[in-house]
Chain A
Amino acid sequence: MAKTLFDKIWDKHIVQQIDGGPSVLYIDKHFIHEVTSPQAFQGLEKRGMKVFRPQQIVATADHNVPTLQQHLPIKDELSRVQVQQLITNCKNHNIELYGLGHPFQGIVHVIGPELGVTQPGMTIVCGDSHTSTHGAFGAIAFGIGTSEVEMVMATQCLMQSKPKLMRINVEGTLNKGVVSKDIILYIIAQISASGATGYFVEYAGSAIRSLSMEGRMTICNMSIEMGARGGMIAPDEVTFEYMKGRQFAPGNGQWDRKLEQWKELYSDADAKFDVEINIKAEDIEPMITYGTNPGMGVSVAGQIPGEKDIDEKEKPSFLKSLDYMGLKPGTGIKGKKVDYVFIGSCTNSRIEDLRLVASFVKGKKKADDVEVWIVPGSKQVEKQAIAEGIDKIFEEAGFQLRQPGCSACLGMNEDKIPAGKYCISTSNRNFEGRQGPNARTFLASPLTAAVAAITGEVGDVRDFI
């Protein structure tokens, strides 16, 4: 019978099927971080148990770490305790930790792929909704809660009901100035912030195939922003080329055998999806969000919907959202002044993102009244940026190159956007207060963020290239 990519991986990982209930799903890799793991360790210890398969867990500190002076003790006491707790827990349970100061430290969804821990055909979980990022390699990867973190620690398994499957085909050639972030913001704007709830999404089509692994990760990363459990892309030559030679990728003796298996990971020609959505790449323009959920996005050159375009029932939320953002229905966003530019997060903090920004800002200076934070996704990204001289370009432009962490994406550490200020951000969520109490977020691509850094306002990258 014809199978989807998802089915091929799912079926291989079923330990047991419960009648009228969920499946027991075996998990290959489990990433943990300081924020959603302490209570899971506590739960295990309360049961007097050890972690079942510590070699299948990789830990890092990212959500709650400072992005300046990481060599010093963390100033905030609660944050320090939480990061210390992770160190203690990993030590007690024999788990590999890439903590602060380690050359592999970084945002969990950046380091997994760059180290080659993330591999096609795997089941991967983490106590973080953006775990969907790893699906870019043709893996089933999804975010879980802390009780589930505890389950995986205890048994390397989860109880999961099989989700419905959606395929989103993006065919055609991307317009000038359009990058992968614009594709996913466009898709979410089309189907809404809840449009894929209950589904696992496979992205396909020539426009998706044309993307680098970094670009594919950006797409899969934001699957959760339309409610999807996860997103995935069938592995191909681009994937295999990226994997080759990475720290934990299969070595010479294993590579050929693995490659044979990976090449079987695609949806069969007549495989059935519960829903298919077709998108023309040519319809996608540089995108920006204007509201307080990621589905509230428009073309940078376009206009915020007018009141009459909004369903009666959605209107109170729509107006509340615009009120929070200090914007008016039916107006354009282009030209809107911004105060902060944040380039970072598990969505857009990889070396390719930094290169893209550098290529645009080279020889230019930031606008006077804008603060620009560049937060690389990992120590390795930081090292690579320095090796390529990208740090110098940023320095000359007046940008601040910080140290790796989740930073202003969720404002758990001190990297918060002040109340009422506008931030154009390459991250994934524009929720109220996400980047700090009463902070206002515009989500956009690294290119569109770079334009704002230089001009001090929301601009259309196509006017500059």
Chain B
Amino acid sequence: MSKAINIVSGRVVPLKETNVDTDQIIPARFLKATSRAGFGKNLFRDWRYANDDENQPRAEFVLNDPTYSGKILVAGKNFGCGSSREHAAWAIKDYGFDVVVSSFFADIFRNNALNNFLVPVQVSDEFLDQLFAAVEKDPAVEVVVNVEAQTISVPSLGLQSSFDVNNYKKTCLLNGYDDIDYLLSIKPAIEAFEQQYK
């Protein structure tokens, strides 16, 4: 299955929290796995369940609210701060999200997300507020993210904004390429560098 990603559209899940750190996204005690699979079930574990018990979902937490669904997570400023654990990106992707929208992303999280074809869409504080307001008014409102055009829009309200992604990373996302594929392709250059450098 190709990992390539371009247009993601549909309903969104609003998480109106700022400074969402990777310990909240996936607590450390769930990092003992030695494979990449299955982290989605513990996504936001301690916000989702009371007393660490899957039989005690916290009704007020957005992932437990049947009103909201979709492949696009919309969150407050400074999303993904803290630990470098890529497990955070794996958990979000494994849960079923393809896009995270925020007005600010922590650097390491952004890289980890891109390496897992989870698109970090950074918008202005104003646009983020408009997005939260739109989904509050109509939980079924459709949002469209277009990687190739670098746009995010709410067609029914005529809202649109652009987002940054460098050309190299865009090519990777659109074609399903990994950084590692590229690095392996230039191995002779790396070896030549080592010769002159040492």
Contact = CB atoms under 8 A, between A and B. Distances in A.
B115 to A, nearest CB: 4
A460 interface: no
Interface in B43-92: 46, 51-52, 76-78, 81-87, 89
Interface stretch (A21-29, A173-181, A259-267, A331-339): A21-29
A363 to B, nearest CB: 37
A21 B169 CA distance: 7
B84 A151 contact: no
B183 A157 contact: yes
A320 B46 CA distance: 14
Interface stretch (A140-148, A301-309, A371-379): A140-148
A126 B112 CA distance: 14
B16 interface: yes
B179 A36 contact: no
Interface in B6-61: 16-19, 21, 23-24, 27-29, 31-36, 46, 51-52
A155 B187 contact: yes
A1 interface: no
Contact of B179 (A128, A151, A293, A317): A151
A42 B81 contact: no
A5 interface: no
Contact of A143 (B34, B84, B166, B197): B84
B156 interface: no
Given A26-B193, A431-B21, A154 B183 contact: yes
Interface residues of B, number: 56
Contacts of B169: 21-22
Interface of B: 16-19, 21, 23-24, 27-29, 31-36, 46, 51-52, 76-78, 81-87, 89, 104-108, 111-112, 115-116, 166-169, 178-180, 182-184, 186-187, 189-190, 193-194, 197
Interface of A: 12-13, 15-16, 18-22, 24, 26, 35-36, 38-39, 42-43, 63-64, 76, 78-79, 81-82, 85, 127-129, 131, 143-148, 150-151, 154-159, 161, 163, 193-194, 197-198, 224, 227, 229, 293, 314, 316-317, 320, 410-412, 429, 431-434, 437-438
